[in-house]
Copies of this chain bind each other. A is one copy, B any other.
Amino acid sequence: MKELFANRVLANDTSDLDEIFKNSVNPENISFAGGFPDSRRFPDADLKQAYQTAIDQQGPAIFQYSATEGPQNLRQKLADRMQSHAGVTATADNIMLTQGGQQAIDLVAKLLLNHGDAMVVEGPTYMGALAAFDTYEPTYYEVPVDQNGMNIRALRKTLQAHPEIKLIYTIPDFHNPTGTTLSAKRRQAMVALANQYDVIILEDSPYRDLRYSGKSVPAIKHYDTEGRVIFISSFSKILSPALRTGWIVADQPIMSELIGLKSAIDVQSPNVTLQAINSYLDQHDIDAHIATINAAYRLKRDAMLAALDRYFPKNITYTRPAGGFFIWVTLPSDIDAKQLLETKVLPQAHVAYVPAACQFASRTVKNGFRLNFTSLDPVTITAGIKRLGALLQANQAVAPALPLKTAIQF
């Protein structure tokens, strides 16, 4: 049967991700691997009320087919929010609802990528985005990330060397997996480069509103002068991932093509869900809800950073994110984080993380891993980091004393 499968399927190996998921759900482990919000922060009673209100107000019509781009009322709210929260001028016509941010990535890939087409991704980047892009079989160019986000000098060199590049995929706010944020200056520079080299920027920003310290930076799309930045975000991290609702902000002619593609993929997103979200936004101050999430997540982040400071060997570095879900750990360059996970961290410390390799399109960088701090409570976070730190200390004692050459610098 497999001889009938398309090349995109045969070429793809998702076993790494399957393994990570299994480690995440195994209750014997303290798992920092998943990218889950804290279930205790979901406003379940308010969302229940929102479903009721939406169905009561609209009656049977809410259950009929509707427009592919989503209902006008919710699109208008998101357009307003783009202005107030991201500095992006948009009308309801610039907004389309999607099945989470993930579908938005798939749609943009489908819009732009022929087999073999060239694109830029950050190294490291969101592994789910790589899974989506992989099915379009692009040629990846990896640009490193530092403490201010994507390295713009490296981006310029890459665009100069490869004028066939069509797309830059970036996660500028509390980057997955490193937690770093692209500086305002770099955002402007990235748009200028995109204009110069005729490239589309896909700005993936699901963590934007989850800031625990410091000041917000305008979206890359704020600096867009030629309608070539596509902004995507999601209710998954600020309300609930089970709503599977994200949105795309794009100009014409991109938006009309994306609507056509979405129509062919799944006709439209569930109107009942979209109207329930609209009712929730009518009835509640989502920013007040986000503030309560942020207060909780700030404590978790602080607990993890304090435990890292206390329990990790001094030659291991890590990021100090101002928001989002993740901290990135860089190991000495001779340590393969995946091998360490499988041979020691899981069986001995019973802790899980996401090793570096599957988060690089090149798969070549091995000495790092991603830690999630949002899904667990501070006490468990501290206990897990302590166990992991002790194992790293013990492991380091027997590792050869090589000069410190980290593949990724922070």
Question: Which residue numbers of A lie inside 8 Å of B, CB to CB?
Answer: 1-9, 12, 14, 17, 34, 36-37, 39-40, 42, 44, 47-48, 51-52, 55-56, 59-66, 98-100, 102-103, 106, 110-115, 117, 128, 131-132, 134-136, 166-167, 198-200, 227-228, 240-245, 253-254, 257, 260-261, 263-273
Identify the closest chain B residue to A254 (Cβ).
B1
- A267–B64 touching, CB < 8 Å: no
Cβ distance A238 to chain B, nearest Cβ, rounded Å:
12
Identify the closest chain B residue to A242 (Cβ).
B271
Cβ distance A259 to chain B, nearest Cβ, rounded Å:
9
Inter-chain pairs besides A5-B112, A9-B261, A102-B267, 20 sampled, C-beta below 8 Å: A5-B111, A6-B112, A7-B114, A12-B260, A36-B65, A39-B60, A42-B60, A42-B64, A44-B59, A44-B63, A47-B63, A51-B272, A63-B240, A64-B242, A99-B99, A100-B266, A106-B266, A128-B264, A131-B264, A244-B269
- A55–B64 touching, CB < 8 Å: no
Answer whether A253 and B2 are a contact pair too, CB < 8 Å, given A48-B56, A135-B261, A267-B128.
Answer: yes
- B268–A244 touching, CB < 8 Å: yes
Chain A interface SS verdict (over half): helix
- A242–B6 touching, CB < 8 Å: no
Cβ distance A56 to chain B, nearest Cβ, rounded Å:
7
Residues of B within 8 Å of A268, CB to CB, are: 244
Task: Give bound CA distance, A131 to B103, whole Å.
Answer: 18
Cβ distance A399 to chain B, nearest Cβ, rounded Å:
35
- B42–A48 touching, CB < 8 Å: no
6 inter-chain pairs at a CB distance below 8 angstroms, sorted by A residue, are A4-B198, A64-B241, A103-B266, A110-B135, A245-B270, A273-B273
Which residue among A61, A131, A136, A266 has the maximum number of chain B CB atoms within 10 Å of its CB? A266
Identify the closest chain B residue to A200 (Cβ).
B4
Residues of B within 8 Å of A270, CB to CB, are: 99, 242-245, 270, 273
Task: Give bound CA distance, A200 to B135, whole Å.
Answer: 20
Cβ distance A104 to chain B, nearest Cβ, rounded Å:
9
Residues of B within 8 Å of A200, CB to CB, are: 1, 4
Task: Give bound CA distance, A383 to B272, whole Å.
Answer: 33
Task: Give bound CA distance, A281 to B277, whole Å.
Answer: 24
- B66–A242 touching, CB < 8 Å: yes
- B44–A48 touching, CB < 8 Å: no
